[in-house]
Structure 1
């Protein structure tokens, strides 16, 4: 059983949705030469997912953030990683008038359906060197057992 990407609308994506949605989105959101088109707030951190004998591991690339910036929630087998940030920079002249005022917002959300073999009570997360590491241990019955020799009677 593997982790399943969640598209945010309450349904698991179909193969057609995955293929057409991603390809069509990339086609229409491509930054064509000479066209200044910004995708503000559309950046979602890249994710690596791997499985070994004892656990699933998720690595989410989010450099420049702090561990306090993340929100992890688990709801009925769906793990959601989200963040919302607001930055504001103001420069005023001697009269208190704005000479420059910049602000920006950044938010993302990624969700994953967890397999039944995951021990949802033992999930751990840590943020180091720009990467959020999430460890999803497997239940004891789902871990691979060493082969045993069966005696013939």
Structure 2
């Protein structure tokens, strides 16, 4: 049985007041949202003089869970995590299995050196460093005034 909460403070112009509240409460229930919302790790992208950096926040995984592929100039990062509880000693009245996977793809700029890509997974963050081509590195020098 599911309790449906009605928001009497919410004014809507529907022909049947409360009708939208019923669907909002059903589809905003954690049972549905936990299974329908695709969880994709947040990414930070930055650039230094010599490298591009991508950081993905993916706690709870191991480095073996990740798969990083480069196809032409598209870098794809995927992970698959299956957690199954195998306990035959207990008599469960409800048992849910968890299966999570994601794929993030990034198009590399032409200035990226596809042979200079390194990755490491530290403290729940996947860090990818992509070297820049020599001709793309910014040249800095002091110019004297005559």
Q: What CA distance in whole angstroms lies between the structure 2 residues aligned with 1:33 and 1:102?
A: 22
Task: Assess if the C-alpha contact under 8 Å between 1:90 and 1:102 holds in 2.
Answer: no
Q: Which has the higher contact order (CA 8 A, sep 6+)?
A: 1
Aligned residues: 118
Query: Superposition pairs for residues 54-69 of structure 1, below 5 Å?
Result: 54-69=50-65
Q: What secondary structure is seen at the aligned counterpart in 2 of 1:141?
A: helix
Task: Assess if the C-alpha contact under 8 Å between 1:117 and 1:139 holds in 2.
Answer: yes
The answer for unaligned runs of 5 or more in structure 1 is: 1-31
Deviation at 1:90, TM superposition (A): 3.0
TM-score (norm 1): 0.69
The answer for unaligned runs of 5 or more in structure 2 is: 1-23
Which residue number corresponds to residue 87 of structure 1? 83
Which residue number corresponds to residue 116 of structure 2? 122
Aligned alpha-carbon RMSD (Å): 2.4
Query: Superposition pairs for residues 1-153 of structure 1, below 5 Å?
Result: 32=24, 35-36=28-29, 37-40=32-35, 42-93=38-89, 99-100=91-92, 101-147=95-141, 149=143
Deviation at 1:102, TM superposition (A): 3.5
Q: What secondary structure is seen at the aligned counterpart in 1 of 2:135?
A: helix
Q: What CA distance in whole angstroms lies between the structure 1 residues aligned with 2:60 and 2:140?
A: 43
Q: What CA distance in whole angstroms lies between the structure 2 residues aligned with 1:39 and 1:88?
A: 17
Which residue number corresponds to residue 4 of structure 2? none
Q: What CA distance in whole angstroms lies between the structure 2 residues aligned with 1:119 and 1:33?
A: 50
TM-score (norm 2): 0.72
Q: What CA distance in whole angstroms lies between the structure 2 residues aligned with 1:33 and 1:136?
A: 45
Deviation at 1:33, TM superposition (A): 5.3
